[in-house]
Structure 1
């Protein structure tokens, strides 16, 4: 189906031609080409939904600046059949449809958010034929993210459940974070949950926060999970040198996380591999994980434990004595396939953006991937930047357009534009999108080492 739509109705300055339809598997796709097309195609996993939802300004910014955009929607059965490798295949089909109708673009940029960010990294590594550069925003990597969430939730369950029990709310078994109900009543979308499990966690978190020892243990869980202490919208970012602000922010944050026990979208990730567990901690030494944590978070933990007069080593001993969780070999074999994981072996220029306060995907994943990039001698192909914001995928039009333009400049010149926060903010503001530029330094919050990098040497071997 072909439409001619005036971009003036979207507060931009040109017309564009639109083609939409469905791929053979039922996935919706859309292609939009402005009259002032600059011969660059942006390939976006979530283009269909981005044109309809709150992120439409980002699309407007691209179209207004002459970029054609083509992509898909998430499949209706994604909750049960998530497969990023298949999603990449769908994007290849859409690109082929684009070429049939509009001819071969001069450049193609893979671009995406969240799951689309993962698809972007995987494309840059293993499906880069016909792709010139990539912009990955809020990218997850499935096994990594679920292990990072497992660590924090394991600590919460181990050290916080007693506050729930002592208040008379019920047994510790109420506080589930794995083997979650896989039904449409409690987990409609596969992302968050509703019902008694969420309510139990909320009660446990509040009971813990009302105790000095509980506040210390909440902070320890965030520190071991390498989670940001700032995840709740409409709250101030805590000062990295103020343990009390960090403790308050952690409580606000953990109450937001209560709606996704075990980590955002755990049910989707487990369903992908036939319901098999992709997370493990049966070989984890949490005391060594603590040494890798962000220094500001460690200082806050130390302060809060001293204030509560609680011995942190006794809590590490308690963690050592808790039953651990093992991953399914089947699940790890599933995820260790091209398109389903990322190993830092990029073949094209990539710029990666992440928000410090992303509640769905811990910002610390970026550090792990950056270290893999260095191990693979790919530093010259890769740049990162962080956004001073909470939420998930709420990058502004200015920020995302700046990232695209920087990758284009890298492709054309072989050199990277300056990517320090001040330079990025100046560059983003130059586009006059009437949206904010919020690039920030990460130094105060950077982890020493990301604890959950998973990159088996070969595909098909779940090491």
Structure 2
């Protein structure tokens, strides 16, 4: 049986032929690449294409790649061996030489953003998230898959002039790691609402720990089951406890304290915002927003993000041994702390006593095997980007809290890598809820940084103007985020962590 596919890119025809095998003879597969130059070709596509020669290149010998040409672009759509990760590549006829690589491209290829980028001349590539990801999450494997896609792209279309890795949520997670680990494969990176998994797990733990210590000491916050009806029953108990607490001045004060210590956003969560964004100077409105947001973040089958991290590693990941919660409160949002003090005064309870009670409450220890697993390259971040990295975060992201993005900025600065890094915020409820114009402004900013070697202006006003110039009817809400004094949960692995020897 003969398998053949033809790829059309501008005026070039590329033939890949899978050679017929004879019975009773070992399978012999070869790639034959024949380039037919018809008329004048761009300098980018002039060089003969050679298969990538590194360990990231998957064995494609038994994969008859499927392609399609719409007349405007060429498409390769298939799966990578070993893990079976689906991938997609599209290269427009008017390719500008820039490739955008995205963890979620396979599923989002026909989105408004990606179709517009294709029309503008960008090539796009990437993968789909694997179905078993919930119980077998490994960002290091996702990075390997993304590099395999880059290898496939280069073997067929040649090396791009510039490659930008981008993505949101888990896609932002691997983007941060790609910027730190693979400056040989990408020229820039855009990470949206990107988590560092151990940071996210522990930041989420802190707020729940305060609630457990002061409001619901008998309810679990770690080792949560992902099975029914167990997880729903736990969720109902947490909802009941918090709703009861909200009815009293004492409970309202302690809810505000939990949000402040946890460095969670007072206005943020999944779905649609239940109330308008509060004035942070209005204590009543601010506390009500904290409560409404908290209801969406309590343990339940809808909030399994950090439980997913524990499913991945061999053991419980979260820990708060050695954490001083008085210091954590001192590092909190200035206006949130003002509200906490007023609420505690109104409730006639002692804030210092509650902080001491939290500090004396039984601590949670991580399994050293889990910490060791998450210490491996690609599974956490070190704050050392080797290529230009633009990080964007929504203010109302209650999965990857904006304080985590601030913490990464602090770590980058401490490591001396600030010239490579910029952080911008968008004032909007939700996780990865960026508008079309905001995404395009981020991409254009990165292109300018790569091409000129200098960052263009990234202040909110400049980014809003840029966004509106690219898509006039799309909302652009870049703004100056009020940051906390310091992010509480920066962590980078020690030698003992790598060896699994920390107790």
> Is the structural similarity TM-score above 0.5?
yes
Give, in whole Å, the separation in 2 of the partners of 1:263 and 1:453. Answer: 22
Mapped contact 1:397–1:433 kept (Cα < 8 A): no
TM norm structure 2:
0.82
Mapped contact 2:100–2:125 kept (Cα < 8 A): yes
Give, in whole Å, the separation in 2 of the partners of 1:176 and 1:387. Answer: 34
* Equivalences, count: 431
User: Match for residue 32 of structure 1?
Assistant: 90
Q: Of 398, 401, 415, which aligns to 2:437?
A: 398
Is residue 2:67 matched to residue 1:2?
yes
Is residue 2:312 matched to residue 1:254?
no
Is residue 2:354 matched to residue 1:315?
yes
Q: CA offsets per residue over residues 157-203 of structure 1, 9 Å max, x none?
A: 12122xxxxxxxxxx53x322111143x359xxxxx6x211111111
Q: CA offsets per residue over residues 127-185 of structure 1, 9 Å max, x none?
A: 22121000000000010000000000111112122xxxxxxxxxx53x322111143x3
Mapped contact 1:58–1:396 kept (Cα < 8 A): no
Structure possessing the higher relative contact order (Cα contacts under 8 Å, 6 or more residues apart): 1
Mapped contact 2:313–2:370 kept (Cα < 8 A): yes
Q: CA offsets per residue over residues 40-97 of structure 1, 9 Å max, x none?
A: 0001001112236xxx222223223211110001111111211111100000111111
Q: Of 404, 417, 421, which aligns to 1:378?
A: 417
Give, in whole Å, the separation in 2 of the partners of 1:29 and 1:257. Answer: 33
Alignment RMSD, CA only?
A: 1.8
TM norm structure 1:
0.89
Q: CA offsets per residue over residues 222-274 of structure 1, 9 Å max, x none?
A: 11110000014332111121111110101110111125489651221001112
Structure 2 portions without partners, runs of 5+: 1-65
Larger Rg: 2
1:461 is displaced (CA, Å) by 5.1
User: Match for residue 350 of structure 1?
Assistant: 389
1:411 is displaced (CA, Å) by 1.1
Which residues in structure 2 correspond to 1:53-68 (within 5 Å)?
Answer: 56-68=111-123
1:380 is displaced (CA, Å) by 0.9
1:349 is displaced (CA, Å) by 0.2
Mapped contact 2:226–2:304 kept (Cα < 8 A): no
User: Match for residue 190 of structure 2?
Assistant: 135
Distance 1:62 1:17, change over 3 A: same
Q: CA offsets per residue over residues 321-358 of structure 1, 9 Å max, x none?
A: 32110011111111111111111111000000000100
Give, in whole Å, the separation in 1 of the partners of 2:403 and 2:499. Answer: 25
Q: Which SS does the other structure have where 1:405 is aligned?
A: helix
Distance 1:325 1:385, change over 3 A: same
Q: Which SS does the other structure have where 2:498 is aligned?
A: coil
1:449 is displaced (CA, Å) by 0.4
Q: Which SS does the other structure have where 2:109 is aligned?
A: helix
Q: Of 122, 138, 151, which aligns to 1:83?
A: 138
Is residue 2:306 matched to residue 1:306?
no
1:4 is displaced (CA, Å) by 2.4
Q: Of 152, 166, 170, which aligns to 1:97?
A: 152
Is residue 2:252 matched to residue 1:218?
no
